[in-house]
Structure 1
Amino acid sequence: MELKPDKRALIELAHYKMPFGKFKGRYLIDLPEPYLIWFRQKGFPAGKLGEMLQSVLEIKINELESLVKRIQKDFPKETK
């Protein structure tokens, strides 16, 4: 079985910002790992934000932040 990442989902994740709280407006990839671990312990929000926060935690645990930073640089957010 071959895994193929969803390129659009990764680009969206790279540009998604925290919509509330202490870190409102910060890119999810820039959230501190202890904050993401706290969410894991308390429960991630329902829906898309929760899924993205879980993904960011896995990215950080596996030390892959540089890949997301590269996506931010190589695929700037489209303005509409």
Structure 2
Amino acid sequence: MSGAPYIVVFKDDVTKEQIDQYVKEVQQAGGELKTRFDEDGGILNGFAAKIPDSYLQSLQSFTDVISYIEPDGVVTTQ
């Protein structure tokens, strides 16, 4: 079970260690980490992962640390 792909962005004051814990929880719920955006001078404080529907709602409730969660996909211009 891996789930649909999402981008999870945390608030600026959230530490790498806190993000590590959320990544671990996603993986324990059956999800799959795709990319960390907060490492090596990344521009976003977060990650991309396949997140099971069964865990997504729980993750969305952490509004004190998470800025937003949005579906990951390809963006194109015309």
- Return the TM-score normalized by structure 2: 0.28
Structure number with higher helix proportion = 1
**Is the radius of gyration larger for structure 1 or structure 2?**
1
Structure number with higher strand proportion = 2
